[in-house]
Amino acid sequence: MAMSGGLDSSVAAMMLLEEGYGLVGITMKTWEYAATGTLGKETGCCSLDSIHDARHLAVSLGFPHYVLDIRDEFNHYIVKDFVDQYLKGRTPNPCVLCNTHIKWAALLKRAVQLGCEYIATGHYARIRKEKGRMILYKGADQEKDQSYVLWGLSQDFLRKTMFPLGGFTKSEIREMAKVAGFDDIADKRESYEICFIPDNDYRRFLKQQVPGLEDKTRDGDFVDTKGNFLGKHQGYPFYTIGQRKGLNVAVGEPLYVNKIIPQTNTIVLGTKQGTFKKHFTVSGFNLISLEKLPKELQVIAKVRYKDPGHYATIRLDEQDDRLQVKLHEAVSAVTPGQSAVFYQGDDVVGGGFIEDASF
């Protein structure tokens, strides 16, 4: 049982115990604040308090608990990629990458060593088996559904995974904790920030990770869509597609970041309409609900976590192994580096990383 010390994984552990499963609790240490000088209070799955809370619950419920140190892998694959993506003018989603390549791999490896048959987490998502294939689909609580961040899980991973919370709402889970007498867990606030950036200031984090970054990239040009000079910016890594605030450029109408060109340290500003795109490509595509894509497939596409979804047609370009996505209506801020996840009903067809986008 992957345990963060928070409400969701704690109640998931309680539920599995009630169903008669034998549990081993695992808390993953991904980040060391003191060693890196990261500002802010430790939060989420990395903090000492969270590790203590997870261990306390395991002891209270009578099952063993271990701390799995994956800081080296996490720093190499997740933090380094996070920085590299911004230096390429992209906007990464580290949680997706971590779930796919770090947490599940580390958990399964340890599960095998401990003789466990499955791994379980507190995600709000569901899995079912259909015609020999494992189907990932949305959690019952549409507001808390986390299937979007799990698109990278392979069939092998899904076969060994359990999501005890998938059929419940957040309010029901909170009530379960209270009924069980764990009011302190039930009242815990949720953590939305990136675990290794507790103050939620990614710009400060980039400056800390790349000495001299601000000096090297500041005073680049803001230009309009025709290439006309509009002003100077603070450095291209510190902006994202669709951003409006903090531009400090006045031309009589609101401007938005339309494009980032890292090669020339240039940022293209334009109208809100300029952020809308109808076509984009996807790399690193992982197919879940289907064994093979048909020539074309009608789906609902989500281009960010809280995106309600948009009708789209997808097809695989066999020449470059990228997915071609055509949105039926233009969507704002389709951002390279973010994840695009495709659904049919509640089922996750698959997902990948957004690359170039065009109108």
Q: What is the CATH number of the domain that holds 292?
A: 2.40.30.10
Side-chain half-sphere CA neighbours of 346 within 13 A: 17
Going by DSSP bridges, is the β-strand pair 229-233/297-302 parallel, antiparallel, or unpaired? unpaired
Instruction: Look at residue 215 and tell me whether its pLDDT is greater than 80.
Output: yes
Grade residue 37 by pLDDT with cuts at 50, 70 and 90.
very low
Torsion, Cα of 318, 320, 326, 327 (10° steps): 120
Q: Is the domain of 136 the same as that of 17?
A: yes
pLDDT digits (tens, 9 = 90+) for 89-144: 999 999 999 998 888 999 999 999 999 999 999 999 999 999 999 999 999 999 99
Q: Report, as an integer, the average pLDDT of 64-90.
A: 94
pLDDT at 359: 65
Check residue 128 and give its pLDDT: 98
- C-alpha of 224 from chain center: 31
Residue 317 lies inside a defined structural domain of this protein: yes
- Domain carrying residue 258: 218-270
- 243 has a pLDDT exceeding 70: yes
CA distance 43 to 102: 19
38 within 8 A of 205, measured Cβ to Cβ: yes
pLDDT of residue 190: 74
Mean per-residue pLDDT over the chain, rounded: 92
- Which of 133, 131, 143 has its CA nearest to residue 168? 143
Evaluate whether 28 touches 68 at the Cβ level (below 8 Å). yes
Q: Which amino acid is at 299?
A: V
Same domain as 179, residue 224: no
Cα gap 309→341, rounded to integer Å = 9
Q: Which helix (H) or strand (E) holds 56?
A: helix 48-61
208, pLDDT greater than 90: yes
Q: Among candidates 100, 92, 40, which has minimal Cα distance to 73?
A: 100
pLDDT, mean of residues 211-217: 96
Residues 322 and 294 in one domain: yes
Banded model confidence at residue 194, pLDDT cuts 50, 70, 90: confident
* Structural domain includes residue 99: yes
**3 state DSSP class of 15:** helix
Digit-coded pLDDT (tens) for 273-282: 999 999 999 9
CA 5 to centroid of chain Cα atoms: 19
- Residues 281, 264 share a domain: no
Residue 207 lies in a domain: no
Residue with tokens 């801020």: 333
Q: What percent of the chain has pLDDT over 70?
A: 95
CA distance 354 to 285: 10
By annotation, the residues acting in catalysis are 98, 195
If DSSP codes are grouped into helix, strand and coil, which group holds residue 39?
coil
**Best CA proximity match to 195, nearest among 36, 23, 21:** 36
Q: Within this chain, do residues 20 and 77 fall inside the same structural domain, yes or no?
A: yes
Q: Same domain, yes or no, for 53 and 156? A: yes
Same domain, 69 and 155: yes
Mean pLDDT value of segment 62-90 = 94
**Per-residue pLDDT band at 218 (split at 50, 70, 90):** very high
Q: Quote the pTM value.
A: 0.92
Are residues 288 and 346 both part of a single domain?
Answer: yes
Q: What is the total count of domains within the chain?
A: 3
Query: With pLDDT > 90 as the criterion, what percentage of the chain qualifies?
Result: 82
Which residue has 């079912």 as its token pair?
128
